[in-house]
Amino acid sequence: MRVVITGGSGLIGSHLTRSLAGDGHEVVVLSRRPEEVGGLPSGARAQGWDGRTAAGWGHLVAGAAVVHLAGESIAAGRWTEAKKRRIRTSRVDSSRALVEAVEEAPEKPRVLLQASAVGYYGPRGDEDVAEDEPPGSDFLGRTCVEWEEASAAVEALGVRRPVLRTGLVLARDGGALAKMLLPFRLFAGGPVGSGRQAMPWIHLADEVGAIRFLLDHPTATGPFNLASPNPVTNREFARAVGRVLKRPSFLPAPAFALRLALGEMADILLAGQRAVPLRLAGLGFLFRFPTLEPALRDLLQ
């Protein structure tokens, strides 16, 4: 099977590429700078695209499976108005480019997996948030709605489209976890803000496993929360990290200091949602790491 991956050089995409290529699949990684994509395994190659049109690569989706992960990082840099525009347009424009490619393909792709995020639901309280909950009205909520809707037209063309609402991906070689560990390694770790906000997390191995599960499942369509069935509060997360690293975990990071340092982006850390994978579990997906502390031990020890 040929699998076309946008954002295939990022944390999730690179691990997904290695997993698929390792099982003998042909993998095409779409990148705006294909010459800089290194370390691809045998069976994978990089293909240039502009992120806005199907020019030069659209033929590759014919009969393929497509995993759309591309988008400006939300965690790199302060959220200026220009940064927020890039976050939105990089997601919406690239999704529309995929629709253009599907429309032009003589043979439609078998499936298109559309990335999104649990930020779709906006800040929530203590209740579990399943996939049928409405979107939030904050910046991330509105962006996720537009992001998801931008590729919805492929369904009318007969293409199955699961939507991946991913939580905080925990990995040993990148992502948010490495940044979160620094205070703990300096014996200054602890909860962020009140510590009561929910953290819908997922081990990278389960993120890749869930994507592959949804690629292959013939009836999987619509939104899926890619998050552990056991979300934790920020305070519980801090305590678990402290136990695994054998470091103190009681020094809080005040909300005002985070907002001063990060601006609007601080709301990602200070507000959360208990997103649970109700639909994924309903299809029979089994998590390798359903609880936090074993996941952290696997990554950190």
- The answer on pLDDT for 132 being more than 90 is yes
Q: Where are the domains of the chain?
A: 2-167+203-227+274-287
What crossing angle do the helices spanning 234-245 and 176-185 adopt, rounded to 10°? 60
User: Which pLDDT belongs to residue 75?
Assistant: 73
Distance CA 68, CA 30 (A): 10
pLDDT of residue 58: 94
Pick the CATH number of 2-167+203-227+274-287 from 3.40.50.10680, 3.40.50.720, 3.40.50.300, 1.20.1640.10: 3.40.50.720
Residue 257: pLDDT band with limits 50, 70, 90: low
- Please report which helix (H) or strand (E) contains residue 12, including its range: helix 11-22
pLDDT of residue 252: 82
Bridge-based pairing state of the strands 201-203 and 168-170: parallel
What share of the chain has pLDDT > 70, as a percent? 97
> Is 187 a residue whose pLDDT tops 90?
no
pLDDT of 265: 67
Residue-wise burial string across 186-225, b where 16 or more C-beta atoms lie within 10 A, e elsewhere: eeebbbbbebebbbbbbbbbbbbbbbbbbbebeebbebbb
> What's the mean pLDDT when you consider all of the chain?
92
Q: What letter does residue 45 receive in the DSSP assignment?
A: E
> In the chain, count of helices (H) and strands (E)?
10, 13
* Strand spans (E) along the chain: 2-6, 26-31, 44-48, 65-68, 111-117, 128-129, 162-166, 168-170, 198-199, 201-203, 222-226, 232-233, 274-275
DSSP helix, strand, coil percent of the chain (3-state; round to 5): 45, 20, 40
pLDDT for position 231:
94
pLDDT at 255: 73
Strand, coil or helix: 232: strand
Asked if 263 and 79 count as a contact pair (C-beta separation under 8 A), the reply is yes
Q: pLDDT tens digit string along 79-124? A: 888 989 999 999 999 999 999 999 999 999 999 999 999 999 999 8
In this prediction, residues 218-223 reach a mean pLDDT of: 97
The interaxial angle of helices 81-104 and 139-149, nearest 10 deg, is 10
Confidence at 260, pLDDT banded by 50, 70, 90:
low
Q: H/E element holding 300?
A: helix 292-300
Selection from 207, 229, 205 nearest residue 290 by Cα:
229
Residue 3's CB is within 10 A of a number of other CB atoms, namely 24
The answer to which of 10-14, 40-44, 125-129, 256-260 has the lowest mean pLDDT is: 256-260
Phi-psi category of 163—alpha, beta or left, where left has phi over 0 and alpha has psi -120 to 50?
A: beta
Summarised one tens digit per residue, pLDDT across range 7-60 is: 988 999 999 999 999 999 999 999 999 988 988 999 999 999 999 999 999 999
The pLDDT of residue 258 is 67
